């Protein structure tokens, strides 16, 4: 038996103000689209803003459904739009934010497991990391320089 140790390194900023201007702008776009989410069941609103290599910004928010599993997270709403409309254009950066109507969310909110798997597909496909920034409604912002920090041992097309 051999033990392996997996470590992830993330950067934590005390507030959005500490981040470069371009990231602050991307996060503000994420907040604007978050506030248009359709989330009447969870009352948990999420926004995603993707900066593409061609300068386009792709936005998404969560879209819920009375049949719960039919809904979709903000991250996948955005990344699938990017994949559909900008095939072959790499995704450089992703800003994610969340807010609850039930309490004040100050904890940086990472993508769920299913979204991490979906983002991983694009990172593998474009052979370049996607920088991911995530936060709650206010407070700290976490930066991951690559999706792989958030999803070690990814399942990708090399297994197929
Ligand atoms: Zn998700």
Per residue in 138-151, pLDDT (tens digit) is: 999 999 999 999 99
In a structure prediction context, what are the per-residue pLDDT tens digits for the chain, which is 160 residues long? Answer: 999 999 999 999 999 999 999 999 999 999 999 999 999 999 999 999 999 999 999 999 999 999 999 999 999 999 999 999 999 999 999 999 999 999 999 999 999 999 999 999 999 999 999 999 999 999 999 999 999 999 999 999 999 9
User: Which residue is associated with the tokens 């052979």?
Assistant: 127
User: Is residue 22 situated within a structural domain?
Assistant: yes
End-to-end CA distance of the chain: 27
- The number of domains in the chain is 1
Q: Which domain holds residue 136?
A: 10-151
User: Is residue 104 situated within a structural domain?
Assistant: yes
Supply the angle between the helices 74-85 and 113-126 in degrees, to the nearest 10. 30
How many Å apart are CA 140 and CA 71, to the nearest integer? 28
Instruction: Give the β-pairing of 131-135 and 91-100.
Output: parallel
> What CATH code is carried by the domain that includes residue 123?
3.40.140.10
pLDDT at 100: 98
Q: How far is the CA of 3 from the centre of ligand 1 (A)?
A: 31
Instruction: Give the β-pairing of 141-144 and 11-13.
Output: antiparallel
Q: How far is the CA of 31 from the centre of ligand 1 (A)?
A: 16
Catalytic residues: 75
Q: How far is the CA of 46 from the centre of ligand 1 (A)?
A: 9
User: Is residue 1 situated within a structural domain?
Assistant: no
User: Is residue 26 situated within a structural domain?
Assistant: yes
User: Is residue 2 situated within a structural domain?
Assistant: no
Q: Identify the three-state secondary structure at position 30.
A: helix
pLDDT at 139: 97
Q: How far is the CA of 75 from the centre of ligand 1 (A)?
A: 6
pLDDT at 20: 97
């Amino acid at each position: 038996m051999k033990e392996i140790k997996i470590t992830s390194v993330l950067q934590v900023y005390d507030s959005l103000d500490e981040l470069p201007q371009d990231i602050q702008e991307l996060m503000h776009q994420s907040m604007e689209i978050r506030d248009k989410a359709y989330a009447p069941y969870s009352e948990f609103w999420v926004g995603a803003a993707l900066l593409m290599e061609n300068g386009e910004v792709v936005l998404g928010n969560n879209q819920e459904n009375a049949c719960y599993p039919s809904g979709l997270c903000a991250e996948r709403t955005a990344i699938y739009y990017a994949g559909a409309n900008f095939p072959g254009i790499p995704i450089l950066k992703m800003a994610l934010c969340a807010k609850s109507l039930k309490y004040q969310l100050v904890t940086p909110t990472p993508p769920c497991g299913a979204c991490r798997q979906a983002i991983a597909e694009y990172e593998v496909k474009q052979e370049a990391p996607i920088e991911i920034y995530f936060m709650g409604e206010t407070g700290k912002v976490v930066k991951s320089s690559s999706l792989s920090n958030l999803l070690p041992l990814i399942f990708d097309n090399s297994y197929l």
